[in-house]
Structure 1
């Protein structure tokens, strides 16, 4: 069976994701669609709206055949490491191709961009370093350096100021650096950009826009036009069972407790905490009783909101620089769910897999990456501050991969 991979968060699964899934299947002429999906914490450094099991059900009910968990260390990493972990897993799963959504929509432009930055790597990195010394953020330095090395280029290039283009570029980069045979494809995003608010006249909205409606209005009926019925049903079930959606506002009391039980020196040992940010984070936690004022107090031109949230995620899970530096690539394949086609595909490649297949966590609990996933899941459920969350602590040991 021919398989195509996609890299997803599904936070939550909406009509834009459904379009991407269906078009990826058509564009690659594949029988099996495999999604590598982030667990309970996401690449922008925030808790998922609903847990990985609920998002797995959304994916399977919408047509994904096999859902694999992207380990915490990669799911919460900067774009290049996020992409590296995901593409490595899709290649390990014998996917013939991977297909990503982008604002660009042209694979040719991505390949030209990769060639340009590879050929000009030294001058590009020097420009980034010089710009960062001037006090601007890393993403802005990347964009300005890119403008410098591409100013006289006539071939089509990708706009690397767009979030999905950035991820797409890193998927291409990862596939090249890992020397994989997996073939890249891209599909242009339709209607809503990554951060757009949802609009009543449309049926496709960004996940950001959908979450904004939920947090502002707490009204599930208002997001009905933007997602499949099965996704809306899953959100309704979650709300009635879990009582609350995952967010830093909800998690902040526990985050604050964790910050203040540390010294500033020990906060500096947490991954991505750098350049004295431990002082700003600790000081803000002593005075701010809710998350938004806390973030506004520590925000700076040097660090983006997302970068700071990733610091906070690693403080929350107590994931350290030492642990981060010891990690190179995923060390296992963990299925979260599958349908009959996905199960048949997994069975057909099982003997050829180069990584262990983890269906029962208890059998592989000594794996350091897996220990991080289990810890992150438990802390996610505690952060919900509900009886359901309390009951779900330890659920990685109790819940088997979902089958539909």
Structure 2
């Protein structure tokens, strides 16, 4: 059974994602699809609009066969570690033959050419990247600039053709992760159609970015009807069910009170111990709190944002503080160790067959509950669920412990 792996968030799953699933299966001639999906806190540092079990159901109904959870240790990370954790999870299954990701060009050969040149992580690249970061550039911009300069110095100025584009950068890091892991998975890319990754405007009758759709939802006060042209009916059905239960849509403002409590109560020196609180940001946080006019996370982010500190970087920082993630838990050495387990969130009948195969092929234990092991990153995922549940309007106390009690979604 040939299998293609996808790295996803589905926040929420829309028609563009459906196209990605279908085309990934087609161009790789895969019989089955494994998705490794971020849990409750995502790559840009945002809480998911619906919980991970609801989004797992969206994925299974859209054509995925097996959904695995990307640990929050990796999911709320810059591109380098987000990609590494996701590729490590797919590789660890032992059943994934290919990886297929979306990019602005769809040209995996051009990205592979760059990855081959950068995989060695030369001292020149590290030094130039560090210098650009000190100049105040955000990491994605600094990395793209350093890569372009390095390749130009080697006489290959055209190689880094589109690294300023977010999906090109992420795709490059998928390819670098494959090389670091020595993974046999073949890499493929599909060109993003009609809507960019961060595009907030809706310019097509059927395709819009997840960013634009979340904006549509929240600007409508949580109403979901506006999503109908842009998402599969199965996605709408799941979201409407979750909304009726008071569990969606969820955004940053749902966590404003506990977040501001932490930011106000913790001394600056203690804030500095949390992951992503770098270069004196703890003092910037304390100063911004004195300027607030409302208890809104959006206002805090606006006060904190600079050319150096992007909204994404700041959201990841706030997520780490909210979740209690200390720097020593997320060191480069620990993250480089890869996944410690494979967490199953849901599966179809074909996915069940994959799980049977994985019992023999997986490089790490395959688990279906937080009760199945005591790995530090699994405990972090369980705590993230407890925090997320507290932000849902109608959550019950029992929802905080769903990682221990909720079985995988079965379709």
Aligned equivalent of 1:191: 194
- What is the rounded CA distance, in whole Å, between the counterparts of 2:98 and 2:268 in structure 1? 46
- What is the rounded CA distance, in whole Å, between the counterparts of 1:157 and 1:280 in structure 2? 35
1:248 aligns with one of 248, 252, 255 = 252
Q: Which moved more, 1:391-400 or 1:95-104?
A: 391-400
Q: Secondary structure at the match of 1:105?
A: coil
- What is the rounded CA distance, in whole Å, between the counterparts of 2:207 and 2:162 in structure 1? 22
- What is the rounded CA distance, in whole Å, between the counterparts of 1:180 and 1:43 in structure 2? 23
Cα drift, residue 296 of structure 1: 1.5
TM-score between the two structures when normalised by the length of structure 1: 0.95
Q: Secondary structure at the match of 1:245?
A: coil
- What is the rounded CA distance, in whole Å, between the counterparts of 1:146 and 1:200 in structure 2? 32
**Superposed CA offset, 1:180-233 (max 9, x none):** 111111110011011223536420110000001001113311111001000011
Is there any run of 5+ residues in structure 1 with no aligned partner, and where? Answer: none
1:161 aligns with 2:168: no
- What is the rounded CA distance, in whole Å, between the counterparts of 2:90 and 2:141 in structure 1? 30
1:258 aligns with 2:238: no
Q: Which moved more, 1:117-126 or 1:306-315?
A: 117-126
Cα drift, residue 243 of structure 1: 5.3
1:394 aligns with 2:373: no
- What is the rounded CA distance, in whole Å, between the counterparts of 2:38 and 2:191 in structure 1? 22
Aligned equivalent of 1:377: 385
8 Å Cα contact 1:124/1:149 also seen in 2: yes
Cα drift, residue 391 of structure 1: 4.3
2:314 aligns with one of 295, 308, 311 = 308
Q: 1:132 to 1:359 in 2, by over 3 A?
A: closer
1:339 aligns with 2:348: yes
Q: Secondary structure at the match of 2:406?
A: coil
Cα drift, residue 388 of structure 1: 2.1
Aligned equivalent of 2:13: 13
- What is the rounded CA distance, in whole Å, between the counterparts of 1:36 and 1:307 in structure 2? 22
Q: Which moved more, 1:225-234 or 1:298-307?
A: 298-307
TM-score between the two structures when normalised by the length of structure 2: 0.94
8 Å Cα contact 2:15/2:230 also seen in 1: yes
Aligned equivalent of 2:287: 283
Aligned equivalent of 1:330: 339
Q: Secondary structure at the match of 2:245?
A: helix
1:227 aligns with 2:231: yes
Q: Secondary structure at the match of 2:342?
A: coil
Q: 1:148 to 1:245 in 2, by over 3 A?
A: same
Aligned equivalent of 2:300: 294
Aligned equivalent of 2:271: 267
Cα drift, residue 175 of structure 1: 0.2
Number of residue pairs the alignment of both structures matches: 402
Cα drift, residue 157 of structure 1: 4.0
Write the mapping of 1:355-366 to structure 2, written as runs, cut at 5 A.
Answer: 355-364=364-373, 366=374
Q: Secondary structure at the match of 1:388?
A: coil
Is there any run of 5+ residues in structure 2 with no aligned partner, and where? Answer: none
Cα drift, residue 119 of structure 1: 6.5
- What is the rounded CA distance, in whole Å, between the counterparts of 1:273 and 1:313 in structure 2? 11
8 Å Cα contact 1:260/1:286 also seen in 2: no
Write the mapping of 1:17-56 to structure 2, written as runs, cut at 5 A.
Answer: 17-56=17-56
2:324 aligns with one of 310, 314, 318 = 318
8 Å Cα contact 1:198/1:210 also seen in 2: no
Q: 1:196 to 1:136 in 2, by over 3 A?
A: closer
Cα drift, residue 122 of structure 1: 2.7
8 Å Cα contact 2:50/2:247 also seen in 1: no
- What is the rounded CA distance, in whole Å, between the counterparts of 1:277 and 1:199 in structure 2? 34
Write the mapping of 1:80-119 to structure 2, written as runs, cut at 5 A.
Answer: 80-94=80-94, 95-118=96-119
Q: 1:201 to 1:37 in 2, by over 3 A?
A: closer
Q: Secondary structure at the match of 1:184?
A: strand
Cα drift, residue 261 of structure 1: 2.3
1:351 aligns with one of 345, 357, 360 = 360
Q: Which moved more, 1:122-131 or 1:168-177?
A: 122-131
Q: 1:120 to 1:374 in 2, by over 3 A?
A: closer
Q: 1:373 to 1:120 in 2, by over 3 A?
A: closer
Q: Secondary structure at the match of 1:393?
A: helix
8 Å Cα contact 1:242/1:389 also seen in 2: no
Q: 1:210 to 1:204 in 2, by over 3 A?
A: same
**Superposed CA offset, 1:24-78 (max 9, x none):** 0011111110000000000101100100000000000111000000011011111
